[in-house]
Structure 1
Amino acid sequence: MISSPLWYLFALASLAAFITLVEQKSKLKIFKFIPAVVMIYIFSMTLASLGFFEQNEAIDAIYENTKKNLLPAMLFLMLLQIDFMDFFKLGKSLLIAYLLAVLSLAFSFMLISFVFDFNKEMASAFGALSGSWMGGVANMIAVGSALNVSQEAFGYALIVDSVNYTIWIMFLLFLTPFAHYFNNFTSSQEQMAKLSSIGCSCTIGAKRYWFLILLSILVAFVVNLIAQSGFALLNYTTTTVVLATLFGVLGSFTRLKSINGSSEVATTMLYMLIALIGSKALFENFSGVGIYVFAGFCILLTHALVMVIGAKIFKLDLFSIAIASLSNIGGVASASILAATYNKALVGVGVLMAIMGYLVGTFGGLAVGKIMIWMVGY
């Protein structure tokens, strides 16, 4: 069992490096179906669930500090590659996908509430959960407080959020290599052609790696310093992400955009973040909350079916519906990571859509929660 925070980071970095190396050198066919990013997540989660990493204050602290610095650093480097004029080509489909995600989640919560015949406690708990799945944990707390959710029910909602989110992000990451087949099904190849045209045109060069690492660390330090000073946009994570996004956007209009190696450094940070998140995805004893977890999976299944039907009708590509879904259910960090697995230049899309979720999550969650509680009496 690893109890040292430094050995904890070293183990995760080694895991990510080893899997990436195997993918690049072995040419195993399994990586065509399960990409390295999913492998890293699965193995990291498995090691954590087997007790390989000790759950202590030192490891928790290094996890939080690493994640809060690595995420803005990665976002900054990835956003340097963006030509924002390309976003105007994608606006309509992404907006339709986002609205479809919000409405399908609201419909799914109310439908499952009716099918499972929720009592008032379950209805209020899932009302709080809908706040999280339309925005984030901050919205969940706000909606839960407004609906007077009991501590026990709120705890169950947190467990459902953790378990279902863990499976959902892994599932969406797993689908990445199959985007071509889905886009053929929805006749959205033209949309994917626009997506694939966005990216960094610079050549690879190792001489600039250290400069990019130092620059990204400096950006992470500055955005965290600003967030700690009392300046806040919804919450701490959103503040750092928005500021890092802003710096990345500004940098993309300068000569920084052409620096060689930003994609490789950002990808390395992405894989480390995946390993970090996986190391905290523990499957513990969920006795007593089975019905909550099962209902949560039914909500996600209904949501997925509506999204696929909507994608077929509106000819939406897999990236658009996947990022729209996870920007609601997962939030800023996971949406940007998923976007990066499709195209590193599209991180900004994930960030912007997740921020939209923070803005509507509280109101949407309250509306859904109130409707589900009203349905209890009928």
Structure 2
Amino acid sequence: MTTPSPALIQNDIVLFGLIAATLAFVFWTASLKGAWQKFYGVVPPLLLCYFIPGIFNSLGVIDGANSQLYNPVASRVLLPAALVLLTLTIDLKAVMGLGWKLLAMYFGSSLSIMLGAFVAFWLMGQLHPATVAGDTWGGMAALAGSWIGGGANMVAMKEIFEVNETTFGQFVVLDVGVGYVWMAILIFLAGRAKAIDARSGADTRALEDLQQRLADYSAQHARIPSLSDYMLIIGVAFGVVGLAHAVSPPLAAWFAPYPWAHSASLDSPYVWVVLLSTVIGLGLSFTGARKLDGAGASKIGTLLLYVLIACIGMQMDIAALLDRPWLFALGIIWILVHIVLLWGLGKLLKVPFFYFAIGSQSNIGGPASAPVVAAVFHPALAPVGALLGTLGYATGTVAAYLVGIGLRAMAGAG
């Protein structure tokens, strides 16, 4: 038996520099025009941030499995910090002011994704049992985190349910492959929204008021950040992370004697780190800390998230990603259940097509792509996508966690 050759880069500091340079290259080229613009119109930057480190690992340039860059640095520090920053910026009051039907479509979208996971898992269990064997349930929980919340929630589910890196990578491919095709369909249909609304008899008068209200709201919050702003952002994020790590071990120990707590993973300190970071971040959104978003809190949170995604990618084996093509059938069934249920809710409530599109994309795509779909309808509506997409960071962890618990029971994984 031959031992594998040592990786070219074994120093984690050098590895971090390579990851940072890789992310910089992706985002720099994504900002360019011409051929690069066409390329990123097909291949989303998120996928490259995940795959390029995976290529480094597959070629033996790095050894992601034996690096401490992901665990403990990225998963235990950067992930909860990203959750804090992405939840403290939620303007729940503004979201509530958007109208109950829009919120109903958003939460209906989340619920349809949760139900779709169970339907897809059961149906594929009948059609092709091998597809849902092993830790597929954990990969689906991670994907539910992404489709209800975002990348941070997806990674949180990976950690909570200890999903294998290869399985996780397969579901990242499924996330992009299915999610971005649906986004393209929504953008195509957005150009026909007036005709769709005319046929459905939807009341679109609230949209005009909404556009003006959101345009005013967006103009109020822009400012040039200072050094003090950045210090506050970092202090709040990592201060909460430190507090969560201090409190989580005794909380987990308190729940440890109860069998029901074990089945819900409440005896795991890391589960409490994720939950506390999310809850405290959401609590901060009701305070003056929410104003830090005007100084770039959500952008820093997103930056931490992309470093985290790259650190996950560097553990992946590229060749193993396409070993399970039936997973795409599972993903298609899943999203079709979501579409049918949400469309039915929209017909029941007689909402404009915009409500259906943004309700779906704010879940499936999250804050990165929901504003894009919203802006296709009207530029002033982009903040609606941002607000609802960001709201998913707060709801995604809990909802995906429930999906994971349910799927684990269906799989008999214990």
* Cα shift at 1:224: 1.9
Give the letter for the 2:174 counterpart.
Answer: W
1:357 counterpart = 2:400: yes
Within-5 A mapping of 1:6-45: 6-26=13-33, 28-30=36-38, 31-45=40-54
Which whole-Å CA distance do the structure 1 matches of 2:160 and 2:132 have between them?
Answer: 14
Pairing 1:213–2:234 present: yes
- Residue 82 in structure 1 maps to residue 90 in structure 2: yes
The one-letter amino acid of 2:173's match is I
Please name the residue that 1:278 is paired with.
313
Aligned to 2:281: 248
For residue 211 of structure 1, report the CA deviation from its aligned partner. Answer: 3.3
Which amino acid in structure 1 is aligned with residue 47 of structure 2? V
Residue 242 of structure 1 aligns to a residue whose secondary structure is helix
Q: Following the alignment from structure 1 to structure 2, what is the Cα–Cα distance between the partners of residues 35 and 138?
A: 24
Alignment match, 2:172: 166
Partner residue, 2:148:
none
Q: Judging changes above 3 Å, is the alpha-carbon distance between structure 1 residues 86 and 268 closer, same or farther for their aligned structure 2 residues?
A: same
Whole-Å separation in 2 of the counterparts to 1:321 and 1:131? 23
- SS of residue matched to 1:3: coil
CA contact 1:319–1:339 (8 Å) conserved in 2: yes
Shift of 1:4: 1.0
Q: Which amino acid aligns with 1:133?
A: M
Distance, in Å, in 1 between the alignment partners of 2:165 and 2:37 is 35
| Superposed CA offset, 1:199-254 (max 9, x none) | 79232324222332233222222212222344477344432222222222232233
Cα deviation, residue 185, structure 1:
6.6
Could you say if the C-alpha distance between residues 356 and 254 of structure 1 is closer, same or farther in structure 2, counting changes exceeding 3 Å? same
2:223 pairs, out of 197, 200, 203, with 203
* Aligned pair partner of 1:92 in 95, 100, 104: 104
Report how far residue 26 of structure 1 moved.
4.7
Which residue in the other structure is 2:61 paired with?
52
Aligned mate of 2:247, from 210, 226, 241 = 226
Aligned residues: 336
Contact 2:84/2:240 (CA < 8 Å) preserved in 1? yes
Q: Distance in 2 between matches of 1:138 and 1:216?
A: 20
Q: Which runs of 5+ in 2 are unaligned?
A: 1-7, 145-156, 256-264, 347-354, 373-384
- Cα deviation digits, residues 25-59 of structure 1 (max 9, x gap): 556423344443333223233323323211453x1
TM-score, normalising length from structure 2? 0.65
Q: Which amino acid letter does the alignment assign opposite residue 263 of structure 1? A: S
Distance in 2 separating the partners of 1:351 and 1:65: 22
Q: Does 1:181 align with 2:199?
A: no
Give the unaligned 5+ runs of structure 1.
142-156, 327-334, 371-378
Amino acid at match of 2:58: S
What root-mean-square deviation, in Å, do the aligned CA atoms of Structure 1 and Structure 2 show? Answer: 4.1
Distance 1:285 1:35 in 2: 21
Deviation at 1:3, TM superposition (A): 1.0
Deviations 1:251-304 (A, max 9, x none): 223332223232332232232222222222323458xx95xx233332112222
Shift of 1:69: 0.8
Cα deviations by residue, 1:70-118 (Å, 9 ceiling, x for unpaired): 11212222223221123434431133223322332322233333333x4
Identity of matched residues, %:
16
Instruction: Note the C-alpha offset of 1:340.
Output: 10
Report the counterpart of residue 105 of structure 1 in structure 2.
117
- Name the CA distance, whole Å, in 2 between partners of 1:251 and 1:269: 19
Change (3 A) 1:281 1:343: farther
